[in-house]
Every structure is written in structure tokens, then in C-alpha cells.
Structure 1
Amino acid sequence: MNEVQDIQNQVQATITGIDHLTLPVHDLDLAERFYTQVLGAKVVFRTERTGRMPFIAITIGNSPSIDLFLQPWGQPAINQVNPHLAFAVRGEDLLDLKQRLIAYHVPVAGPIRFGTPGHGSLYFHDPSGNHLELCAKDFVGEVNLEPYDMEKLSYQWQG
């Protein structure tokens, strides 16, 4: 046996899932309003704003928490598709969620299908420029099969 196999045989620990994700944001107050008001997130923890690494932890549905860290860099370029964070939604809710984004003056592309039949997604950005997706794997409505113009999703949201 080699050393790696010895360690694998001795250590029976396993990774059980994702605990949290982090996103850099330019403005914590604006990010909190966007994620709670527009996306329905709940704040589960916050650090002092004057601390060394100020952040807000949010949850959306049954997903791992998302820690929104005050950091003015690290967001993807406007024309860069990845990385992005995709939230699972029900197909029957996708068009209503699109209308909600529009009502909050958030530019949105979709429904678009890049995946398997029955898949529909909406693409948009948070106020800091992080790329987000609402993904329904059971969407029965019409979808666009063509790529969208990422630059049309750029905006200044004031909440």
C-alpha cells in the first residue's frame, strides 16, 4: 500500500455538504436591502460594521448561508459568465420572480435554457455586480436558447 491509501483506510471522515458561501459586496446596507427585500433572504448573523472583516450572513430557503463581506473587489467582470450563484426555484414561480425583479428595477435576462429540457433560468446581478441566477428545473414556459448580453444587466441599484 502507498501512503495515500494508508491514510484513506485510516481516516473514515467524510465531507457532509456545503456550510456557507461568501460574496464580496461594495456596501453592506445596500446588499442587505437587496437580498432581503428583492430575494426574500433572512439575516441570521452580522458582525460589527467597524470590525476587521464586516459581514452579514443570510439564508434563502433551505440553502447554506451566504456571507456578504464588505470588499470592493473580487466581483466578476460584467461580461464574464462565471462565477455565478444559482438559486433553486419552482418552475411555476419563475415568471412571478421575474416580475418581482423588474418591479425593483433590476435588469433581468430570461427565461433562458442552457441545460436540459424543462430547465429555465433568469440571470441578473446584485448591486455589487455579483452574477446571480434563478434556476427552475421544472419550467414549462417558453425559453430563449440564445446567449444573453451580460452588459445589459449592469445597473446602479439604490434600493
Structure 2
Amino acid sequence: MATIRGVSHLLLQTNDLARAERFYVEVLGFHVRERTTFRDGRPLVVMHEGLGLTELTEEGKRLRQKAGQSLEHVAFRVENIAQLERDLRIAGVTIVDGPKPTAYGTSLYFLDPDGVRIECHD
């Protein structure tokens, strides 16, 4: 059996690509590696941290409304949870829970602009 070594990358479909890019870059400090397009014409922003962002097509938005959100949350490791919490509050980001002790250390849960639940832990 092949051995899985970890998550390679994560692609999030957003309602507003520019808004999502601003959030991940300006609020969370991600770094854009590349801006390109998929073969079907959808824009793609690739981050050095392993995150890709694209924008849902109108058909994709209709399907999402019917199916609901299938992703529970995305988790990232950070060095300073207290500083992240301060930065998120200043940016007006909705904090859902924490910081609190979890199996991963101290975790903080918040929402991105599309309502995706994000966990950051130390």
C-alpha cells in the first residue's frame, strides 16, 4: 500500500476571489506564489503556504446552495496564538471559539469571508 505523507494543498472555492485573497494575505499573512487560470477559465490564486483560491462559477454557487458546506474546517499551525487573536479582532474577523486547549495545543477558531471555519493552533 502507498504511504500518504500529508496534505499537499487545499483549494477553496470562494464567492469573491478578491475578498478572499485580501483576507488570507492581509489578515493571515499568506504569500501569493502565482495567479493563473484553470483550463475552464476560472481564476486561481496559489499561496506559498499550500492554499489555492478560486472563484465559484454561477453554477457552482447554485450547487453549493443546494448541497451545503461539506468542509468542516481548515487548520493551520501558527507561532503566536495571542497575537493572531489580537490581529483578527482588530481586522473585525468573527471568532467562533477559543483560544482554548485542544489536542493540538492552543486553538483559535474563526470564519473566513465565505464562512469557512478556520482553526489555528500552536
> What TM-score range do you get, normalising by the shorter chain?
0.7 to 0.9
Find the aligned partners of 1:123 and 1:75 in 2 and give their Cα distance: 20
The answer for the alignment partner of 2:32 in structure 1 is: 43
What residue ranges of structure 1 are gaps of 5+ in the alignment?
1-7, 137-159
1:59 aligns with 2:48: yes
Task: Give the superposition deviation at 1:24.
Answer: 1.4
Task: Give the superposition deviation at 1:111.
Answer: 0.8
| CA RMSD in angstroms, aligned pairs only | 2.5
Amino acid at match of 2:81: L
Report how many aligned residue pairs link the two structures: 112
Structure number with greater Rg is: 1
- SS for the counterpart of 1:68 is strand
Find the aligned partners of 1:75 and 1:57 in 2 and give their Cα distance: 25
Query: Do the aligned partners of residues 33 and 75 (structure 1) sit closer, same or farther apart at CA in structure 2, a change above 3 Å counting?
Result: farther
1:28-87 CA distances to partner (integer Å, 9 max, x unpaired)? 1001100000000111111249x6222211133xxxx1111212437738xxxx521111
TM-score, with length taken from structure 2: 0.77
- Structure that is richer in strand per residue: 2
The answer for the alignment partner of 2:119 in structure 1 is: 133
What residue ranges of structure 2 are gaps of 5+ in the alignment?
none
TM-score, with length taken from structure 1: 0.61
